């Protein structure tokens, strides 16, 4: 479930270990090695999760984007840094020193299929499904969020749709302009690809676009440099990015001033 305001003073990320029984999972031609299984968290709870073997930069993207989204109150499944031993899951990207185990990124499984699956299952009812998403109260903030963090990969498989109002945001490895970003290439004012504009915006009425734009323009403007630094430090993204973390913070602070223009454009409107 999304974190509540009372919980936001603590780190969002959990730590855990992948349990035996994880199985490969393939959906929508996912690029990275993905498994579905159970993770034993450090608090003693066991959660079903999607588990990904990521390189360190994409791993950090997932952690920081999830922390920022949860700080904003958006519905993002719990992010987990998990240890995967070779007898429970095949991983190769981030080996734990002096160990044959690896660190993997796990996202607590939500009881909802991807939008893409819903559309495929709905068949001729696809317009009705998109119409339901169009009424989701946080749609405008999603536009603003993806614009602010330069998420270039919000295709329909990266939203989970559990019912009339249950929507979850997943897969943020390609935020901050992409999975292999470098500080020198970060440009706060650039209109990076916002895929919502390609498949969602055409389904929105003019009045709904206007409403969504009103919410989108507010995203990012009230989160300070110190808050971003805390989110990075508390949720381990700062450690993974090392000297490049400051570049992301500077990028986000500067980009916040461009969110109104860029998110409004993604909604097909003039600011």
Contact 150, 179 (CB under 8 A): no
Q: According to DSSP H, which parts of 46-107 are helical?
A: 56-71
Q: What pLDDT does 2 receive?
A: 46
In a domain, 271, yes or no: no
Whether 97 and 122 share a structural domain: no
In a domain, 38, yes or no: yes
In a domain, 204, yes or no: yes
In a domain, 24, yes or no: yes
Whether 168 and 147 share a structural domain: yes
Pairwise CA distance, residues 70 & 79, whole Å:
10
Whether 143 and 250 share a structural domain: yes
Whether 92 and 126 share a structural domain: no
Contact 212, 267 (CB under 8 A): yes
Whether 83 and 186 share a structural domain: no
Structural domain ending residue among the three candidates 84, 108, 132: 108
Whether 121 and 57 share a structural domain: no
Q: What pLDDT does 33 receive?
A: 80
Residues of the chain with pLDDT under 70: 1-9, 27-32, 110-126, 163-165, 271
Whether 101 and 219 share a structural domain: no
Pairwise CA distance, residues 173 & 61, whole Å:
5
In a domain, 145, yes or no: yes
- Domain ranges, residue 94: 5-108
Whether 120 and 86 share a structural domain: no
Structural domain ending residue among the three candidates 108, 128, 149: 108
Whether 136 and 242 share a structural domain: yes
Backbone conformation region of residue 48, classed left if phi is above 0, alpha if psi is from -120 to 50, else beta: beta
Residues 6+ apart with CB under 8 A from 182: 244
Q: What pLDDT does 9 receive?
A: 58
Whether 163 and 238 share a structural domain: yes
Whether 151 and 234 share a structural domain: yes
Residue with tokens 């916002």: 194
Structural domain ending residue among the three candidates 108, 125, 146: 108
Whether 95 and 132 share a structural domain: no
Total domains in the fold of the chain: 2
Q: What is the CATH number of the domain that holds 224?
A: 1.10.1070
In a domain, 130, yes or no: yes
At 261, give phi and psi (nearest 5°).
-65, -45
In a domain, 15, yes or no: yes
Vertex 76: Cα angle to 70 and 78 (nearest 5): 90
In a domain, 121, yes or no: yes
């Amino acid at each position: 479930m999304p974190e509540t305001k009372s919980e936001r003073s603590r780190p969002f990320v959990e730590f855990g270990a992948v349990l035996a029984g994880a199985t490969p999972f393939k959906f929508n031609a996912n690029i990275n090695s993905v498994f579905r299984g159970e993770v034993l968290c450090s608090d003693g709870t066991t959660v079903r999760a999607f588990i990904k073997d990521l390189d360190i930069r994409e791993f950090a993207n997932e952690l920081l984007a999830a922390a920022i989204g949860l700080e904003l109150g958006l519905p993002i499944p719990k992010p987990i840094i998990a240890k995967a031993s070779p007898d429970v899951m095949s991983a190769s990207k981030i080996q734990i020193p002096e160990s044959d185990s690896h660190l993997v990124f796990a996202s607590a499984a939500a009881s909802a299929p991807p939008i893409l699956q819903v559309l495929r299952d709905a068949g001729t009812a696809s317009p009705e499904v998109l119409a339901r998403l169009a009424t989701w109260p946080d749609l405008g903030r999603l536009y603003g969020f993806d614009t602010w963090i330069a998420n270039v990969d919000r295709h329909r498989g990266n939203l989970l749709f559990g019912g009339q109002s249950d929507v979850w945001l997943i897969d943020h490895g390609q935020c901050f302009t992409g999975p292999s970003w470098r500080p020198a290439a970060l440009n706060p004012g650039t209109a990076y690809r916002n895929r919502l504009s390609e498949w969602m915006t055409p389904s929105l009425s003019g009045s709904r676009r206007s409403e969504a734009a009103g919410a989108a323009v507010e995203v990012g403007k009230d989160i300070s440099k110190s808050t971003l630094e805390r989110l990075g430090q508390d949720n381990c993204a700062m450690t993974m990015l090392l000297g490049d973390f400051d570049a992301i913070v500077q990028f986000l602070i500067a980009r916040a001033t461009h969110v109104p223009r860029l998110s409004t454009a993604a909604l097909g409107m003039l600011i």
